[in-house]
Structure 1
Amino acid sequence: MSPSNSLRFIKAGELKVAYLVVGPEHGTPVILLHGFPYDVHAFDETSELLAEAGCYCVIPYLRGYGPTRFLCASSSRSGQQASLGTDLLALMDALKISKAVLGGFDWGGRAACVVSAIWPSRVKGLVSCGHGYNILDINASTEPLAPEQELRLWYQFYFHSERGRRGLACNRKELCELLWRLWSPTWNFSEATYAQTSLAFENPDFVDVVIHSYRQRFDVIPGDHSKENIERQLAALPNITVPTIVLEGEDDGVETQHMEKERSKFTNLQEHLIVPGIGHNFPQEAPIAFYHAIMKLVHMD
Structure 2
Amino acid sequence: MLKRIDAGVLNVSYEESGDAAGRVVLLLHGFPYDIHAYDEVSVLLAAAGCRVITPYLRGYGPTRFLSAATPRSGQQAALAHDLLALMDALAIPSAVLAGYDWGGRAACIVAALWPARASGLVSAGGYNIQDIAASVKPQTPENELRYWYQYYFHGERGRAGLQQNRYEFCKLLWRLWSPNWRFDEETYQRSAVAFDNPDFVEVVIHSYRHRFALAPGDPMFESTELLLAAQPLISVPTVVLDGGGDGVSLSGGSERHDRFFSGPYERRVIPLVGHNLPQEAAQDFAAAILAVA
Compute the TM-score of the two structures, normalised by the length of structure 1.
0.96
Q: 2:52 aligns with which of 42, 53, 57?
A: 57
Q: Which moved more, 1:248-257 or 1:8-17?
A: 248-257
Paired position in structure 1 for 2:110: 115
Q: How much has 1:120 moved relative to structure 2?
A: 0.2
**2:31 is the alignment partner of 1:36:** yes
The structural deviation recorded for 1:248 is 0.3
Structure 2 segments unaligned to the other structure (5+ residues): none
Partner of 2:269: 274
Q: Give how far 1:192 is off.
A: 0.4
Counterpart Cα distance in 2 of 1:260 and 1:280: 16
Q: Distance in 2 between matches of 1:72 and 1:195?
A: 29
Where in structure 1 do 4 or more consecutive aligned residues deviate above 2 Å?
none
1:23 to 18, 24, 32: 18
Partner of 1:199: 193
Amino acid at match of 2:275: H
Distance in structure 1 (CA, Å) of the matches to 2:207 and 2:253:
23
CA distance in 2, matches of 1:149, 1:260: 16
The answer for the alignment partner of 1:190 in structure 2 is: 184
- 8 Å CA contact 2:243–2:277 kept in 1: the answer is yes
- Displacement of 1:88: 0.2
Q: Which residue identity does 1:232 align to in structure 2?
A: L
1:119 Cα deviation after fit: 0.3
Residue pairs, 1:222-237, within 5 angstroms: 222-237=216-231
Q: Is the 8 A contact 2:242 2:270 kept in 1?
A: yes
**Separation in 2, partners of 1:126, 1:78:** 24
Give unmatched runs, 5+ long, in structure 1. 1-5
1:123-143: per-residue Cα shift (whole Å, max 9, x none)?
11000001x100000000111
The correspondence for 2:207, drawn from 198, 209, 213, is: 213
Measure, in 2, the Cα distance between the counterparts of 1:269 and 1:212: 34
Q: 1: CA distance between counterparts of 2:219 and 2:153? A: 22
How far did 1:260 drift? 2.8
- Aligned equivalent of 2:66: 71
Name the CA distance, whole Å, in 2 between partners of 1:76 and 1:135.
21
Aligned-partner SS, 1:258:
helix
| Contact 2:233 2:261 (8 Å CA) reproduced | yes
Pairs within 5 Å for 1:73-222 = 73-130=68-125, 132-222=126-216
- CA deviation profile, 1:151-205 (whole Å, cap 9, x unmatched): 0000000000100000000000000000000000000011100000000000000
| C-alpha contact 2:258 2:265 (8 A) present in aligned 1 | no
Q: Residue 141 of structure 1: SS of its match in structure 2?
A: helix
Aligned sequence identity (%): 59
Quick one: which amino acid aligns to residue 224 of structure 2? I
Q: Tell me, in whole angstroms, the C-alpha distance in 2 between the residues paired with 1:183 and 1:176.
A: 10
